[in-house]
Structure 1
């Protein structure tokens, strides 16, 4: 087990991090998705008494990754926030301070939870290419690119009965050429994906192939992938 696993696609490389993020070493770009900041505050508006310090662990984890890797930019693939209701003055101040704390620009590919929201100096960008990658929040197939996306919150179910665990994971769909990131937010749940996708579990500060894929080098098949979601 390791805190990072290499992933290659058509000669291009990424690293799947135990911190629930992807590192592009050639472009020195850190990619993550689904932080859902302000989720506790959103639930509080509806009368659910969640503690208000849930964002601290998420933001500290992000700052720790940036401090270790020294990225040129950080790109969030959607759902940085949970809703407008949770976008408090305190959270706005934290978001405004993030680029300086990260030591690099912070960018946001807009997700469904950002709809109708406005964050100063952090415009919602559309889906876009970054070299061989197609960056989106929801899954979007684009021929000739590997889709890096959030939204799915993939988890793997390990074990049976009372010993069953649901662990966040990276999930690669060969048919659609899509690599889904686990949710980065500490208060965010997940969903099992269809069988047949290659998965890398995230647990105890490590990333582990599950089940072990025959190869971490992936090649496109002849037919263009179909849009999903």
Structure 2
């Protein structure tokens, strides 16, 4: 039996981590891989965001979607997932749904080479996308998949607690050394809520600091780096004394 929250190790496609009987892999492409079912999980692509900004008079270039879609197609070609699971905010809003983007979305299952499950996000709510049906949060193995952070349905069995995997928050971590500052997307685990936040996959996305969570895995220079806040380590030392 695997440990409940196993220490991460490099194996397969990325950095492996276990939750009860689930084995997950953090990928440097800001995606999550579930080897057992060959599922690829991503969140927050925010396609069409540049066009939404343009509609409000902000002159962003229109090729932002290419920087998001091309890495996704490359990743699907490499991993050959049986299912691509998108945890919400596939698009940024109705104003960004150009005819070109609608055609791309309709062809997305064919382009990725696999069926797509879309958990509807707050930005998807008023968007009708041909061929992609938005569905509510659901259970997959010992995982509870949602867009926004949710409490998984309670179980009568203590050992059957579900891990909530979600997007929405675009987690990032702030690193500092002297006057140097670095802000990196990350996977972040909240043990008190049994929740794993995954980073935004989209190129034109910001981020929300999650420094209060002491288990993080940074996405940096094409690799995954386990990280713990220095403040958290100091706090643990004080508690031990």
TM-score, scaled to structure 1? 0.89
> Which residue matches 1:165?
182
CA separation of 1:200/1:121 partners in 2, compared to 1, >3 Å: closer, same or farther? Answer: same
Corresponding residue of 2:232: none
> Paired residue for 2:131, among 114, 121, 126?
121
| Structure (1 or 2) with the larger CA radius of gyration | 2
Take 1:48 and 1:147, find their aligned partners in 2: how far apart are those partners? 36
Provide runs of 4+ in structure 1 moved above 4 Å. none
Residue in structure 2 matched with residue 46 of structure 1 by the alignment: 56
Structure 2: tracts of 5 or more residues without a match: 1-8, 155-160, 230-241
Contact 1:147 1:178 in 2 (8 A): yes
| 1:206 corresponds to | 223
1:51-90 equivalences in 2 (<5 Å): 51-90=61-100
CA RMSD of aligned residues (A): 1.7
Q: Which has the higher contact order (CA 8 A, sep 6+)?
A: 1
Q: Which of residues 15, 24, 34 is equivalent to 1:14?
A: 24
Aligned residue in 1 for 2:234 = none
1:221 matched to which residue of 2? none
Q: TM-score, normalised by structure 2?
A: 0.85
In structure 2, C-alpha distance between the alignment counterparts of 1:162 and 1:20, rounded to whole Å: 27
User: 2:173·2:211 contact (CA, 8 Å) conserved in 1?
Assistant: no
Unaligned 5+ residue runs, structure 1?
213-229
- Inter-partner Cα distance in structure 1 for 2:82 and 2:176: 40
Aligned length: 213
Mapped contact 2:87–2:146 kept (Cα < 8 A):
yes
Q: Which of 73, 97, 100 pairs up with 2:107?
A: 97
Q: Aligned residue for 1:190?
A: 207
